[in-house]
Chain A
Amino acid sequence: MDEKRTFLGVDVVKPRVGFFELSSCEGCQLQLLNNEATLLDFLSMVEVVNFREGMTEKSDAYDIAFVEGSITRKDEEERLLAIRRNATLVVALGSCACFGGVNQLKNRFNDLEWVKKEVYGDHPIDTQETKPLSAIIDVDLEIYGCPIKKEEVETIVTNLILGKAINHPKYPICMECKARENICLFDLGEPCLGPVTRAGCDAWCPSNRLGCWGCRGPAPAANMAQFLEICKAKDIPMERIMDRLECFGGFQQSVEQLRTKEGSKP
């Protein structure tokens, strides 16, 4: 796998990459392994020097660090800072790393003591409010999704290595969903965050007849007010919309605004 590669006549250097996980389900890393058909090609583009879940050897000399998971304990902050010092580029891999992911659902109670007691009773246990990577370090690139979409990651990583620009779609999931000619879930009486969520997953869930839960966070071009009007007109209970908006942490701003407006408790 050591042959030289070129792109448009320019030598392509194999970057040294490391994969790291903080608090997560490790599903995003698994998605990379789940790419059986192209895995070996993908691996030949990079030199993996640190991947605890898959290999014994480890090195701190890496160019690109892919970090999965969110921060929920002090030692994770320290690990992340060390990764930032070692790496040229830090990539947040998946919604836990980008927004806190499902892990931030515990923040909505605003009561860590209650949260700890609910699970561990009186046994002492260490945790803090769930944070995304960007709360602690500068993140160079965010790859959204719970889980990440493997095809999208491969394109992004290829572009990264070739020095091509990486542009996330600004339009919402609905665009992709329409292109796939799916039945709109609103017509089946199901809520869907497609109108306000950032595209890029090729309308993964609506194409399987499940409404979008907004795992990729808000689309820059989204119109939240209009979306809420649609939900109202379609008689979708606000609770079901809130469940989806607050699930992965990407819509944190809207959630806070809505909570204040509705006076609804978490």
Chain B
Amino acid sequence: MKKLTCNVDIKHLTRVEGHGNIKITIQDGKVAEARWEVVETPRFFEAMLVGKHYENAPYICGRICGICSIGHTLASIRTVENCFGMEPSTQTAKLRLLLKHMETLQSHILHVYFLAAPDFLGVGSVLPLTQSHPDVVQRALRLKLLANDICDEVGGRRLHPTRTVVGGFTMLPDKYRMQQFKSRLKTCLPDLTDSAELFKSFAFPDFTRETEFVSLKGVNDYPFIGGDLISTDGVNKKEHEYRTMSNEYMDEYSTSKLSKLSRQSLAVGALARFNNNHVHLEKMAKDVATMLGLTPVNHNPFMNNVAQLVECVHVVLDAIRLIDEILSTEYQAERQPVTPRAGVGVGAVEVPRGILYHCLEFDGDGRIIKGDCVIPTSQNHANIFHDIEELAVFCVEHGKTDRETELLAEMLVRAYDPCISCSVH
């Protein structure tokens, strides 16, 4: 057999958020170079915050990312509230979780249908699918619209929310509309079952590389907002110990910081959450996982797409439960008073792409002395880097052509649903 030689050089990978490059050089059947480079411009959010009063924190930090602005806003709010010793009311906690769920649904649907699915259906974008698979595109739009409509109602706006503030909400959702959303959520379940059928027809590459998965640790529920931290290598830590869970460092190939824990890299995201917390999933979500061949602990990064769909099912069912509970109780005050105090606060939130940490240090007047944000995609970068190396070897072993190697490498990075501008922030 002819020895494989291959050259993949992708500048500014498409169908991902932000700017990254892939380089793979294979010479005479040997991998000479295999790399994932992050070239995004830094925006310096941590510096921007210095000297600002606490109310700026969630408002500015939300702008780290357009796709997960709700997650950033909620993480920042949690950070401030933790520092000031505030506990959200049950009502606030439920509304925040509902909002979080709808961001997860919106973001996962955008990713699996608009960014990832075209690869599995052999096209360059969702545009040709509007002609060839109109029902699939309509279904994706329907699900995304529903999620976004609920974000508008609960958070005030689908991106860069307006109602979410330290202490609670500026305004509460209309109960009549919430009732309608509940019916729409129920009727979208068949759309999710159909999505699972579609996924069944996708050929997920049979590629695995063992790694360490990090996420929040569920106690009674599948976790999204706050709590202890856990890894599949057996590390357990408290929320405020996030620095020793993420261990950020810099590297010449990346303008983003990178992370590691027990091994050379770690992974966060839907697959990490599934691997650590699958027992807490709703039954229907578990069934979809089983049907699509996803069982814990799964080390195939391409299966992150499946884990995202599984989570869509879970959050829809949990959102129905939350709306029921919200509707069955009288509304309490939307907002509690805030009394700043000096100290350090940490907030960990599971955003669509994985665990996100914010940390803020305040003076006694509630002004920020120092800020730190550890982004899911920055925690994944090193893992993507090592996956690309391993994938290059996999391609040599399987005698893949240039084009096949390129496509697999692109699909691999896309599977992480990277949010690169967010990772550099």
Contacts and interface: CB of A to CB of B under 8 A. Distances in A.
B52 to A, nearest CB: 7
Nearest to B124: A56
B363 to A, nearest CB: 14
Contact of A52 (B14, B144, B255): B14
Given A25-B63, A115-B47, A55 B124 contact: yes
The interface centre, meaning the residue of B14, B44, B110 with most chain A CB atoms within 10 A of its CB, is: B44
A26 B115 CA distance: 15
A201 B63 CA distance: 18
Contacts of A30: 66-67, 159
Interface in A16-35: 21-31, 33-34
Contacts of A210: 156, 162-163, 165, 170
B160 A146 contact: yes
Contact of A36 (B42, B145, B160): B145
B209 interface: no
A243 B56 contact: yes
Contact of A22 (B41, B53, B110, B131): B41
Contacts of B144: 34, 36
B364 interface: no
Interface stretch (B15-23, B195-203, B275-283): B15-23
A258 B422 CA distance: 33
A36 B126 contact: no
A209 B171 contact: yes
Contacts of B18: 26
Interface stretch (A118-126, A167-175, A228-236): A118-126
Contact of B50 (A26, A27, A118, A239): A118
Given A72-B41, A125-B255, A208-B171, A25 B14 contact: no
A166 interface: no
Interface in B21-76: 41-44, 46-48, 50-53, 55-56, 59-60, 63-67, 69
Given A31-B159, A266-B51, A57 B41 contact: no
Contacts of B158: 34
A197 interface: no
Interface in B165-222: 165, 170-171
A57 B124 contact: yes
Contacts of B51: 266
B125 interface: yes
B67 A26 contact: yes
Chain A's interface size range is: 35 or more
The interface centre, meaning the residue of A30, A48, A125 with most chain B CB atoms within 10 A of its CB, is: A30
Contacts of A58: 14
Given A26-B66, A147-B159, A118 B56 contact: no
Contact of B170 (A27, A119, A209, A243): A209
A213 interface: yes
A54 B17 contact: no
Contacts of B44: 106, 115-116, 118-119, 127
Given A53-B15, A209-B170, A119 B165 contact: no
Contact of A239 (B16, B53, B110): B53
B79 interface: no
Interface string B112-141: 001100100000111100110000010001
A119 B158 CA distance: 29
Interface of B: 12, 14-18, 41-44, 46-48, 50-53, 55-56, 59-60, 63-67, 69, 110, 114-115, 118, 124-127, 130-131, 137, 141-142, 144-145, 148, 156-160, 162-163, 165, 170-171, 250, 255, 421-422
Given A55-B15, A57-B125, A118-B47, 19 more contacts: A26-B65, A27-B160, A34-B158, A34-B159, A52-B15, A54-B114, A54-B115, A55-B124, A58-B14, A72-B43, A76-B41, A102-B43, A102-B60, A115-B47, A146-B160, A208-B157, A210-B156, A210-B170, A247-B60
6 contacts: A37-B141, A54-B115, A102-B60, A106-B43, A120-B42, A127-B41
